[in-house]
Amino acid sequence: MVNIAILGFGTVGSGVAEVMRENAQSIAHNAAEEIGVKYILDLRDFPGSPFADWMIRDFGLIESDPDVQVVVETIGGVGAAYEFTKRALLAGKSVVTSNKELVATHGHELLEIAKRLNVNYLFEASVGGGIPIIRPITQCLTANELDEIYGILNGTTNYILTRMITDGAPFADILKDAQRLGYAEADPTADVEGYDAARKICILADLCFGKSVDPEKISVEGISRVTLEDIEYARRLGYKIKLLGRAYRLPGGHITAYVAPHLISKTSLLSNVDGVMNGIVVHGNALGECMFYGAGAGKRPTASAVVADVIDAVKHRKARKYLGWDESEPGYLVDAGDVRTRWYVRTGSGLSDIGRAFGDVRLISYPGEYPGAGPGEYAFATPELTGRELAAKCAGMEVRSRFRIL
Amino acid sequence: MVNIAILGFGTVGSGVAEVMRENAQSIAHNAAEEIGVKYILDLRDFPGSPFADWMIRDFGLIESDPDVQVVVETIGGVGAAYEFTKRALLAGKSVVTSNKELVATHGHELLEIAKRLNVNYLFEASVGGGIPIIRPITQCLTANELDEIYGILNGTTNYILTRMITDGAPFADILKDAQRLGYAEADPTADVEGYDAARKICILADLCFGKSVDPEKISVEGISRVTLEDIEYARRLGYKIKLLGRAYRLPGGHITAYVAPHLISKTSLLSNVDGVMNGIVVHGNALGECMFYGAGAGKRPTASAVVADVIDAVKHRKARKYLGWDESEPGYLVDAGDVRTRWYVRTGSGLSDIGRAFGDVRLISYPGEYPGAGPGEYAFATPELTGRELAAKCAGMEVRSRFRIL
């Protein structure tokens, strides 16, 4: 019998408690040992909860209880979560988390502590919710030199973009709807402006390329400036607009990583990942391309990944799993604005300005049914340019949108 | 430094040697140890091969060499492969394979031997080629009760069906083309008639549901009877025809497993898995649905999975990975013909026969552009029926096709 403690009884924490109880038998079978929840730490009261007997408010109890071998951190953020994770690891306990912010920000340090104390720090749930992605990268694709990873990493923004396409309603309306339905938070900034996806792509880049990437240092652009006109122009090109987190290797041992809306071809499988679902594409030099798809958030899917990590931590109490990456040197991360890509541009400027800057590009046909896209507006795709080159070419033009083409 | 031996220098075996050489540095990093190929066993000559120095013809050399810790079996089939795998395991070596026939047929026995000798028998490459699927099931989805697994498990048949849809050319023509292009073998029976997919779905069912399923005992139907008319009727319903391997739990601790062409909705992600690619959907009670997509065959993708297993075997020399399933009791596997599903039926019988057997079903509109589908032919979808119920209803009718609807 192994005992665990859950820190934070919010959506994910309560999901973990539920799944642990519901699937206790198969979990015990898979772990080759029974696993029980001994404590749940939360400052709030949960009167009438079936888990009320386990509730405590003092982390010290968990820290000093040698019976507790695995701690599940589902508090979120980098405050108490950071402190308690460190203290749990230093007390010789393995820690499992869904906290992408903490892993993206302090993962390197926490993994070093885990290594030193010969315990595990596992975070499958931090990216892609219930989708297996961390372990496939670290265990199944180890024969490859990984070149690139990108994907739809945030369900809220994918839901909004999907509904903008299917309903033909603007961003602000769909966002309100998403908030009403619980797919977006009251303060939607972290999702809508891409910060959530930024943390996730940094964790993926850390694992794929072996060195730390700071989410504060990458270029991040959300979806609030994607308009219905953009969606319609993209459709006419055979593309959909999706918010992607993306990281790839560059020559000379550098990488780039960023979050931005992209036009992606409708013939790609990823363009069919709709609604709140996530999809992550990995490219390796032996495997080629593979994709992982599933529910990227939600109580039970996320709990599925957390509990799988708990089982793994229990099975690897004596043989620690190696997971980790090095510190990165200055210059390792190349700013996404300095990397070449094709662009979609929508502009209020006239043909002579476009021709002067871009030559005789082909214009995307005019979607008359969208009132905002009147005469005098043009959209086109550019050849490969860095963001800075694009900005220079567009100097003096009225640019309404510009998004990368994958 | 760990030494390995490769049995069989065919497509996969030579891919393993290539990837081991090409990615030696990152493989050593991921395994935390250098891994070298000491022997390659094959009866053929490979003059001029860069690996000629390692070629041997006597398995005894490998068996008796204590230096060889991991054996890669890429011979295929259940003859020499079975014998050498057993002997390698009994000699205390871990074995890694891409041989689905051997794992599906003798996996239980070989895993028991591996367990007894505290070595590993790993077979990530046996299903889905380079797609991570075995390890995600056994390590990432362990918090779930798995209900169902299904997918496009054979690239050759998916290529043929995809081309039938895009080119509007019949099965026999596309098969010839596929053979010319190397996507189908000279004797295409194992792929086209579904036997390859049958082995794979049995391995997946073994792992997901914990008991042995014999590929000889499941119902298997290939794609040779799928016509252009079927594809067109499916299209009009909003479906595509795909060959699926499928296994799911039934009440009372039973399961069913089978291979058959299915009509699958164009709105599902799996229906967009085209060409030689594979896609596998897993459903668990906590996670919901997830999908794994990638190259299901081919030299380098398969080698990617084999070498990842080699790395895992090297890392787990002291702590064996648990992988295995129990023998199944009689009655565990329910024949697919006894399980209810919706059916698509195409018949040369008239309306009164259809009405008598099925009531007032809605008929799928007539695709005039296909010459074979003349007046007097009808197609429709049935409510849920077992295969036997369907056969009873159709007694006396001229049934041209009947496929399951997912």
Res B367: pLDDT: 65
Residues of B annotated as part of the active site: 200
Chain centroid to CA A217: 16
- B23 in A contact zone (CB under 8 Å): yes
Note whether A300 contacts B288, CB cutoff 8 Å. yes
Supply the ipTM of this predicted assembly.
0.94
Which of the residues A290, A310, A311, A325 would you substitute to probe the B interface, choosing the one with the greatest number of B C-beta atoms within 10 Å? A290
Q: What is the pLDDT of residue A370?
A: 63
Local confidence band at B312 (pLDDT 50, 70, 90 cut-offs): very high
User: What is the percentage of chain B residues whose pLDDT exceeds 90?
Assistant: 91
How many whole angstroms separate alpha carbon A301 and alpha carbon A11?
11
The answer to whether residue B141 neighbours chain A at the CB level (below 8 Å) is: yes
The residue type found at A77 is G
Q: In this predicted model, what pLDDT tens digit does every residue of A208-226 receive, in sequence order?
A: 999 999 999 999 999 999 9
Q: Which of these, B159, B131, B170, B70, lies nearest to B296 by C-alpha position? A: B131
* Residues forming beta bridges with residue B219, ordered by sequence position: B258
For residue B271, give the chain A residue with the closest CA.
A269
How big is the CA angle at B281 (ends B277 and B282), to the nearest 5 degrees?
A: 145
Which range among A365-369, B267-271, B311-315, B400-404 shows the weakest confidence by mean pLDDT? A365-369
**Nearest chain A residue (CA) to B207:** A30
Closest residue of A to B15, CA-based?
A286
Judge contact between A224 and A193, C-beta under 8 A. yes
Task: Give the nearest chain A residue to B298 (CA atoms).
Answer: A287
**8 Å CB contact of B23 and A304:** no
Chain A contact present for B118, CB below 8 A: no
Q: If pLDDT is split at 50, 70 and 90, which confidence band does B127 have?
A: very high
Distance CA B163, CA B190 (A): 19
Contacts with A298 from chain B: Cβ below 8 Å: 288
Mean confidence (pLDDT) of chain B:
94
Q: A107 vs chain B: nearest CA distance in angstroms?
A: 19
Detail the DSSP E strand segments found in A79-212: 94-97, 121-122, 146-152
Active-site annotation holder among A93, A200, A240, A242: A200
Q: Give the mean model confidence (pLDDT) for residues B137-154.
A: 95
Whether B265 contacts chain A with CB within 8 A: no
Search chain B and give the residue with CA nearest A266. B272
- In this complex, the residue of B139, B300, B316 whose CB is nearest that of residue A135 is B139
In the DSSP assignment, the letter for residue B213 is -
Residues B162 and B193: beta-carbon distance below 8 Å: no
Closest Cβ opposite residue B136 in set A136, A306, A315:
A136
Q: How far apart are CA A74 and CA A71, in angstroms?
A: 10
pLDDT tens profile B338-391? 999 999 999 999 999 999 999 999 899 876 656 655 667 899 999 999 999 999
In tens, the pLDDT along B204-214 reads 999 999 999 99
* CB proximity B322 to A under 8 Å: yes
Q: Does A311 touch chain B (CB under 8 A)?
A: yes
Gap between the Cα atoms of A71 and A41, Å rounded: 10
Q: Chain A, 197-236: which have a CB under 8 Å from a chain B CB?
A: 210
- B343, β-bridge pairs: B404
Give the per-residue pLDDT at A274.
97
Instruction: Please indicate if any CB of chain A lies within 8 Å of the CB of B149.
Output: no
> Is residue A78 within 8 Å of A53, Cβ to Cβ?
no
- Mean per-residue pLDDT, B153-170: 96
CB-CB neighbors (< 8 A) of A322 in chain B? 32, 315
- Determine the residue among A25, A96, A139, A149 to mutate to test chain B binding: the one whose Cβ has the most chain B Cβ atoms within 10 Å: A139
Chain B CB contacts of A142 under 8 Å are 26-27, 30-31, 307-308, 311-312
pLDDT at A323: 82
Q: Where are the beta strands (DSSP E) in A186-341?
A: 219-220, 239-250, 254-265, 277-284, 288-295, 333-334
Closest chain B C-alpha to A99 CA, distance in angstroms: 17
Q: Residue B35's closest chain A neighbor by CA?
A: A143
Probe site for chain A from B25, B142, B267, B322 (most A CB atoms < 10 A): B142
Beta-carbon separation of A293 and B269 below 8 A: yes
pLDDT value, residue B323: 82
Spell out the domains of chain B, with CATH numbers in brackets.
2-130+299-315 (3.40.50.720), 134-294 (3.30.360.10), 340-405 (3.30.70)
Q: Touching check for B272 and chain A: CB below 8 Å?
A: yes
Q: How far is B118 from chain A (nearest CA, A)?
A: 15
Residue of B nearest to A35 (CA): B143
Torsion of CA B246, B225, B357, B338, to 10 degrees: -30
Residue A334 CB neighbour total at 10 angstroms: 15
Cβ atoms within 10 Å, residue B166: 11
State how far the alpha carbon of B104 is from the alpha carbons of B76, B124, B247, B305, in Å.
12, 13, 14, 17
Cβ pair B319:A319 closer than 8 A: yes
- Does residue B166 sit at the A interface (CB-CB below 8 Å)? no
Is A311's CB within 8 Å of B143's CB?
yes
> A398 touching B, CB under 8 A?
no
Of B32, B304, B308, the CB nearest to A139: B308
Contact A129, A294 (CB under 8 A): yes
3-state DSSP helix/strand/coil % of chain B, to nearest 5: 40, 25, 35
Of B131, B269, B288, nearest to A295 by CB-CB distance is B288
Of A278, A138, A269, A149, residue with least CA distance to B295: A269
Distance from CA of B300 to the nearest CA of A (A): 5
- pTM of the full predicted structure? 0.95
Which chain B residues are Cβ-neighbours of A24 within 8 angstroms? none
- Per-run averaged pLDDT (10 residues), chain A, 406 residues: 96 96 95 95 92 95 97 97 98 97 97 95 96 94 96 97 96 95 93 98 97 97 96 94 98 97 97 97 97 94 96 84 87 97 96 94 77 75 96 95 97
Looking at chain A, which residue has its C-alpha nearest residue B309?
A: A140
Sign of the CA dihedral running B58, B59, B65, B67? positive
Q: Is B290 on the interface with A (CB under 8 A)?
A: yes
pLDDT at A318: 72
Inter-chain touch A30–B140, beta carbons under 8 Å: no
